[in-house]
Amino acid sequence: MTDLSMPQTRTQSAMGKIALRWLLYVLLGLFALYYLMPLFVMLTTSLKSLEEIRTGSLMSLPREVSLDAWKTAWSGACTGIQCEGLRPYFWNSVLIAVPAVAISTLLGALNGYVVAQWRFKGANIIFSLMLFGCFIPFQVVLLPMARLLGIMGIAGTIPGLIFVHVIYGLGFTTLFFRNYYVTIPAELTKAARVDGAGFLRIFWSIFLPLSLPIIVVTVIWQFTQIWNDFLFGVSFSQAGTQPVTVALNNIVNSTTGVKEYNVDMAAAIIAGLPTLLVYVVAGKYFIRGLTAGSVKG
Amino acid sequence: MSEWLENHLPKVVLAPSFIAVLIFVYGFIGWTAWVSLTRSKLLPKYEIKGFIQYERLFDSPRWDTAINNLYIFGALFIVIAMVLGLLLAILLDQKIRVEGAIRTIYLYPMALSMIVTGTAWKWILNPGLGIEAMVQGWGFPNFEFDWLVNPDYAIYTIVLAAIWQSSGFVMALFLAGLRSVDGEIIKAAQVDGIPTWRIYTAIIIPSMAPIFLSAFIVLAHLAIKSFDLVIALTGGGPGYATDMPATYMYAMAFSRGDIGQAASSAMIMMLVVFAIVVPYLYSELRAKND
């Protein structure tokens, strides 16, 4: 009896396994569609004419592909009274992000190197205090910062925004480099000191060459944070110095003229493109930064 | 001189950043705390008047709405993002052939600005031309999906968009956790004939407790600070139906000219964040020093 029933149950369980496998892939596929749907809708909407948007369906492919909305979004859409498209604001974001990322990464590397390798009395407390700074809701510093920028004469300017992003990025960049440099044995520093190398020499010749992976993680993290920032951008900029996220929001909420959904969608894709590109090219490092920011140690 | 410099160089290098943090984080928190105890309106005043701003805050129906919204949004966002993230991680952990590609798709929203996410969902959810119109076009003329403009439901559209944005990230956290569970224990359980779902509920998931905690902290932190998404998706409306503490603070600070209210609401936000984050950071730092 048992001999006879064995092969049957085996095929049954094998069939069950295949069915489960199929179910698994169908589920994964459905979730993939869920995540891709908004991007698909944005892209197809941006390629349609307004006429087609009004008469057609949300999910349908464009009958006629038109790049007009992209042109308008880039150089003609109105953000309030001005109608220059996203272009000037896109460059504002570049002008803010590049120096802010460079400065905060460099300072983070030096700070992390000190905290991890040159432990002096109180270094741990200093690091803890800097770490807490990462977690404050920025609302709590908005008012005094607005006044300080005014006193310094850089309110509403791009240097002002660079300054703000460097200051509030320091905690995270220090954390990233510190966690990377603690894994390098302290004997290395000791041996180099015995050989007569100083603080900066050791950093420059030993630590910096080892740092490429963590530099990539930090640069990507900082770039994504600063490019996507809205709170500082909207609080500390004025007409003409707004970053791209603020300009995008203004275009979408602009009440002048007809609502051009295709232009809104093209503008949204343009604003999201740089960070999306970074993610596609260096996703591995992006994820490492995300998880390093939440799971420390 | 140069010897002194060489010996103290580490401190000299760290000092500017540390001083910056002391001033721009702790000093500024102190400033905001101080101003929250005054009668500041359009301009800050420095004469302490007690807790009058906090009394005004807790009497304000708009702040009441903001706090209620934070509860609704926070609870739904955290729970659904965690459940979905865990589910996706478990599904992806079954030796899937195209895992890398699927992971990339699930996680890409995290690279986008909340303003971009809000803009996209605002379009998808708009009743006239979005999902509602599409389903009506499929032959269901009575289909209604007007959450975006319905004061009672608008807050749920923010939950929807926020989950889309962040659940992939939770998945990545959990996936890393699943991969770090000791393979020997799982193998032993399989040899003993324990069914897979039991292995998950009895062995793997309990061993990931620290990851649940991390995910919770990150999501709670995101929820309390949520500002961009609300602005882009609903602008806090209809009326102020979707106001949150962060949008309330911003409105008071930059459009209402009520610095006292802005400062006191910012202080409450910070206290809530600290109530969640400080015990966590403290235990993390202590565990590392032991």
Go through the domains of chain A in sequence order and give each one's CATH number.
Answer: 2-66 (no CATH), 87-294 (1.10.3720.10)
Question: Contact B102/A32, CB-based, under 8 Å?
Answer: yes
Torsion of CA B144, B149, B154, B158, to 10 degrees: 100
Give me the pLDDT at residue A9, please. Answer: 55
Query: CATH class for domain B55-289?
Result: mainly alpha
Q: Is B68 a residue whose pLDDT tops 90?
A: yes
A278 Cβ contact partners less than 8 Å away, ≥ 6 residues apart: A220, A223, A224, A286, B111
- Mean per-residue pLDDT for B47-65? 91
Q: B122 contacts in A (CB within 8 Å)?
A: 252
- Mean per-residue pLDDT for B189-211? 86
Q: Tens of pLDDT along A118-172?
A: 888 888 888 888 888 888 999 999 999 999 999 999 999 999 999 999 999 999 9
Question: Contact B96/A57, CB-based, under 8 Å?
Answer: no
Q: Mind giving me the DSSP string for chain A? A: -HHHHHHHHHHHHHHHHHHHHHHHHHHHHHHHHHHHHHHHHHHHHHHS-HHHHHHS-TTSPPSS---HHHHHHHHT--BTTB---SHHHHHHHHHHHHHHHHHHHHHHHHHHHHHHHS--TTHHHHHHHHHHTTTS-THHHHHHHHHHHHHHT-TBSHHHHHHHHHHHHHHHHHHHHHHHHTTS-HHHHHHHHHTT--HHHHIIIIIHHH-HHHHHHHHHHHHHHHHH--HHHHHHB-TTT--HHHHHHHHHH--SSS--HHHHHHHHHHHHHHHHHHHHHHHHHHHHHHHHHHS--
Best of B108, B119, B169, B271 to substitute, by most chain A Cβ atoms within 10 angstroms, is B119
Least confident range of A4-18, A230-244, B196-210:
A4-18
Written as six digits, the tokens of A234 are 């909207």
> A21 pLDDT band (50/70/90 cuts)?
confident
Least confident range of B70-79, B268-277, B279-288:
B279-288
Question: What are the phi and psi torsion angles at A237 (to 5°)?
Answer: -115, 170
Strand partners, A27: none
Q: A136 contacts in B (CB within 8 Å)?
A: 25, 29, 270, 273
Q: What's chain B's average pLDDT? A: 89
Best of A22, A105, A143, A222 to substitute, by most chain B Cβ atoms within 10 angstroms, is A143
Give me the pLDDT at residue A294, please. Answer: 56
* A285/B contact by beta carbon, under 8 A: no
Q: pTM for this one?
A: 0.89
Within chain A, what is the greatest distance between any pair of CA atoms? 92
Q: Tens of pLDDT along A242-283?
A: 999 999 999 998 876 778 889 999 999 999 999 999 998 888
Least confident range of B62-71, B134-143, B230-239:
B134-143
SS3 call for B91: helix
Residue of B9, B115, B131 with shortest CB distance to A245: B115
Q: Tens of pLDDT along A1-16?
A: 334 444 455 566 788 8
Give me the pLDDT at residue A83, please. Answer: 82
Question: What are the phi and psi torsion angles at B37 (to 5°)?
Answer: -100, 10
Q: How far does the CA of residue B37 sit from the closest CA of chain A (Å)?
A: 14
> How far apart, in Å, are the Cα atoms of A15 and each of A23, B4, B65, B92?
12, 77, 54, 21
Give me the pLDDT at residue B147, please. Answer: 87
What sign does the dihedral B171-B177-B178-B179 (CA atoms) show? positive
Q: How far does the CA of residue A81 sit from the closest CA of chain B (Å)?
A: 19
Question: Contact A136/B164, CB-based, under 8 Å?
Answer: no
> A80 pLDDT band (50/70/90 cuts)?
confident
Higher per-residue confidence, B31 vs B177 = B31
User: How many Å apart are CA A104 and CA A102, to the nearest integer?
Assistant: 6
Give me the pLDDT at residue A260, please. Answer: 86
Give me the pLDDT at residue A121, please. Answer: 84
